Structure 1
Amino acid sequence: MTRKRKRRNWRREKAIEKSVEKVGKKAKGMSKGLKITLIILGSLLGILCLIYAGFILYFQSHFLFYTKINGNDFSLKNVKQVESFMEKQVEGYALTLEESDGDTEEIRGADISLEYVRGEELNRLVKEQDSLFWIKSLWKHPKITAKVGVSYNESQLEGVIKRLEIMKPENQKPSANAHPEFQVDHFVVAPEVIGTEVNTEQFNKEVREAIDGFRPRLDMVKKGCYILPKYLSDSKEVIQAAKDMNTYLGAQITYDLTPVTEVVDSAVISQWVKVDDNMQASFDEEAVRGYVQSLAEKYDTKGKPRNFTTATGEVVTVEGGSYGWRIDQDAEYDALLADIKNGTVVTREPNYSSRAASHSGNDVGGTYAEVNLTTQMMYYTQNGQVVLESPIVTGNPNLGRNTPQGVYTVAYKTRNAVLRGRKLEDGKYEYESPVQYWIPFNGDIGFHDASWQPTFGGDWYLHNGSRGCINMPTDKAAQLYDLISAGIPVVCHF
């Protein structure tokens, strides 16, 4: 190794030694500062522990921060202080009853001979509180409900309760359950109504507990002092019932009763959907039958008296006959029930067992035959205009063969018929009358020509009348035959 290289190595070693020495001096300085910091922190922790322990001892005989007993704030108070407060409050004590309608009533301590009685309850409460973890009371405020030592005259309390306004029968309104209610086009949940009917047993219990606890107020709703609804707005039973009831509302049946209509929609169907006390939805099928019956009562005309304006302008009442509207109630009930259950939207006629020409005005419409049994005239009206009139001969009333009044329908028409009476034992008929034109409308009663009649009209029928048929001159019978057809109404009236 050369002398120059040795000198360089020596200088490098000296530089390293100086660097190590400097680091050592800095480390000694930092160690001293850390010790001081730890000493300060330890001292603070010790002080905090002493303070915490002091509070533990303090709360052995005092109530924790934010402590409320029966609604009264007794934070940091000891038992004697609480008792002193209680004794002072007895003289003016009153229990305020907060009622459901916002009104209040009072039960005054003076009215029930209220007295404060010292006891061990407060001492027990202090001992049982969690003094070791007292710090939790700063954010979790203790609320204590307890008897604090009072006495009162039981019979006086009963008397005061009986005289309260809320206990009078006329002031007690029953509560109402939340329930499905139809609005606009569907069922919604209508909210419950909390009434004023008092749950006497619960109320008496809560009053006594409030007085025993020296509490200043009693919220009767929160404490269950009313007979509350069984079902509330958020009760699953009510919500499900509304859903079930809405399943029936999809149908819409429009009855074509030209010129009017009757509509069975959600508003009508909703009246047939029921819910029982247990919130079970059901469909009242008998109500549907009742609706069909009411529809028939409103629109049926068959067999009902009807006012009729004659060809001469008189208004007469016509009774009887086989003509008119009649809804087949059994068939329509089945059809309507099926439409509702299937959610059908349809416009249709009701099911009929008998039909007529019109639902407006006279159900005979504008085309019909008219028989005036009083004046012995017949008229044929077509599209509202009289196009044929003729004198006639009707049944002989003196022989019990009078032509019955009523509204009927032409059954058919035929040419060259033979009208026969009942068949006799010898095989012959009671009578046989050949006619050229035969138009029956009421069984064996009908229009026909009667060439054997020497005259028509007037009072000829009283002694020479028919067996019930409408006798007509041959030419008039021919004209009528050409005009009339099966299904045309025939109105016979006096």
Structure 2
Amino acid sequence: MANETNEKDLFFGSEDPGKDPEPVVPAAPAASGKEELARQIAKNMAMNDNDDDDDDISFAAVPAKKEVQPQMSRQTSYSRESSRSSSSRSHSSSSGHSSSRKKKKKKSHAVDIVCGFMALAIVGGVIGAYAYGKKAYDGVFLANTTINKIDVSKLTKDEAIAKLTGQIDFNDKITITKRDGTRVDIDLKQLDFSSNIQDAVTQAYEKQNHNLWFKSVMGNESSYEFDPDSKFNETKLNAIIKKNVIEGQNVIESKNAYIDRTDDGFELVKEVVGNSIDEDKIGDIYAYISSELAKGNFDISIADLDVYEKPSILASDLQKQYDSLAGIADIEISFDFVYEKATLKGSRFIDWLDFNEDGSYSVDRDEVNKYVDELAEKYDTYRKDRKFKSTNKGTITVEGGSGIYGWWLNTEPEGGMADYITELIEDGKSVTVDPIFYSSGGIDYEGNPDCWTAKDDIGNTYLEIDFYAQHMWFYKNGKKKWECDIVSGLPTEGRNTPEGVYKLWTKESPSKLKGENGGDKWETTVSYWNNISDWGTQIGIHDATWQPYFGGELYKWSGSHGCINVSYDSAKYVYENVPIGTPVVAYWE
């Protein structure tokens, strides 16, 4: 079907009787065959018109008479004169014979006249029958005529149009089915719809040569075929589609699949395939419906037409993530804090996950930071007050002070525990790992793992310094190995040695000490340098051969710039016998 019908021949593969020549009325045959020809023509016309009750024309058969040829004389006449002479000479002898020949000639002329009238009657009958038949088929299709295999014999054009229209499937409406199952009916009259049946019937009628009507009566068939087509107003069609199909619907937006957190775990929510139409593809709807209507399809579905907005994420795209998330509750991420493991279970961090539309998820860093703070609060010992069993004063509390010994969990927002935990959660695997502690300038802010317990991280191997007593002890595995008097820092704001739990970081022998404190500058070379602080405070245990003695109250007027002054032998002992990493507990209790 097309929305325009060109003025052209609609038919294909048909017999075209219109090319036959104009009929010629048969001429009278020679005298010897007139009767037989008349009889045969009448017989054929009568026999082939028996199918038409209204136009039945019969011709009576006229029996043929055998023509009698007159007997010709064998005498030969030479001339009128000699004939006359001969006649006069023999007049008397042939008078009887002459009378007999005249009677025979009269009889022969009578037969000729009868045969002539009969021939004229036959020719007149043929002409009359032809004229009557031509009039009978005037304005109607010839006998044995079909259009698209539908018999239209002896029908007028209007009757043929009505018959074809009734049998060829041209509806009075088109029905458009949308994705949501709703149906929209459009009356074809609204589209100025018309078919090409009328043109096809007219062309078929005009192709027939009605002058040769008797050929169809004698069994000659005329068959015409054409493609049913139509015309309609495409502008009106598009306007109705836009109003009733595109705009006149309950829009269901397409939605992406996603993974939802539920009380029981996770749920894979499937995508929603809606009926919202892609604005860029509205023209495709117009073109499709128009083409289907042009093909003669009156029930048109656009449900599966590729014009709808589609979800960009399907459930199948998220299946892998969903399968991995389904086991999150069983994941355990353990951190080895030497004396025990802190385990972060999936059943807890599952609530920290924020799921994206594409099925991926992000970890709530605020929740991770809170968890890191919990770990630091429980496991950090760096600069925290500690209970300590002193040599002379029993159990005391040593303030964290400036001491740098202990475990200090890295809580930095980047590169610390928060990043580490986030990565482990995203990996989605059960693992046991070491925590991340601060490390700076070659100094690891960690304690002695051999002595770390839930209540203590100093253990039984340590250096003990009592500032009030100005005395130092070294214990190894709980046994005192060395003790000596000391001189600590001058008790002023800039030179006083702060209490705290320190750590033997580095050793050097010899070592040049150079610094500035409170406006005082110094530069001194010592034999043994045992550093117990970070690089900022530079507190160490070293030999101070310039001191007149050690202990007592010497520190009050000859105190150091903050270091622990000891004798040469004591500095050497520490250098040679106290391991790096040994805690140094210094207090003013």
Query: Larger C-alpha radius of gyration, 1 or 2?
Result: 2
- TM-score (normalizing by structure 2): 0.40
